A and B are shown apart, each in its own frame.
Chain A
Amino acid sequence: NAGVTQTPKFRILKIGQSMTLQCTQDMNHNYMYWYRQDPGMGLKLIYYSVGAGITDKGEVPNGYNVSRSTTEDFPLRLELAAPSQTSVYFCASRPVRGNEKLFFGSGTQLSVL
């Protein structure tokens, strides 16, 4: 199994540009999460989803949008990139019950210049 796959691994954006960070999981997990991690800091929850068609805001949702049209995919959209969005972005998933472990993707390093 591939697990949780994030693309791209690295990206440089100019201020005001838009992009979508892709996240796909092949484990049929209902729950999916987007986190950002600034240098020397912990992970902050941006958005999460408990199943296809359902999304909800986390701690730091401003400047981002998400959608969950399928169980497998949970893309994160940046509409107007700002330098404050320079960070490492991690996508994670987990099943509904029986195992609360979060399965993480390898991350996307985003720089906004």
Chain B
Amino acid sequence: RKEVEQDPGPFNVPEGATVAFNCTYSNSASQSFFWYRQDCRKEPKLLMSVYSSGNEDGRFTAQLNRASQYISLLIRDSKLSDSATYLCVAANTGNQFYFGTGTSLTVIP
């Protein structure tokens, strides 16, 4: 069973749309959660951490549901520059970071 599972998409949305990505993790002992963004052929970059209380950074909102072992990312008012692959990450107490397969987003003019 994969540590982290994501819907691979692709998601093709018009500019200004709201889009949501979901992710589930299998290890209930996972401690920390993140969303990373990866542009084609580039290294992943941290988009935001995910906390149980939910957190927001501008147009981006992340949520964590520990009971359901579920993580989400909401992007509001999508921009062309948001086109990328979004990777869900769960880290355990052994300092191992597990990545999902990524969800591809294309924002269309």
Contacts and interface: CB of A to CB of B under 8 A. Distances in A.
A100 B91 contact: yes
Contacts of B100: 42
Contact of B43 (A31, A40, A41, A104): A104
Nearest to A107: B43
A102 B95 contact: no
A48 B95 contact: yes
Contacts, number: 50
Interface stretch (B13-21, B44-52, B55-63): B44-52
Contact of B44 (A41, A45, A59, A104): A104
Nearest to A104: B43
Contact of B96 (A48, A104, A106): A48
A105 B99 contact: no
Given A43-B44, A101-B46, A35 B99 contact: yes
| Size bracket, chain A contacts | 20 to 34
B87 interface: yes
B101 A102 contact: no
Interface string B66-80: 000000000000000
A105 B43 CA distance: 7
Interface in B78-106: 87, 91, 95-102
Contacts of B87: 42-43
B98 A45 contact: yes
Nearest to B104: A40
A40 B89 CA distance: 16
B84 to A, nearest CB: 14
A33 interface: yes
A102 B4 contact: no
Interface of A: 31, 33, 35, 40-45, 48, 50, 58-59, 88, 90, 92, 100-102, 104-107
Interface of B: 3-4, 6, 8, 32, 34, 36, 41-46, 49, 87, 91, 95-102
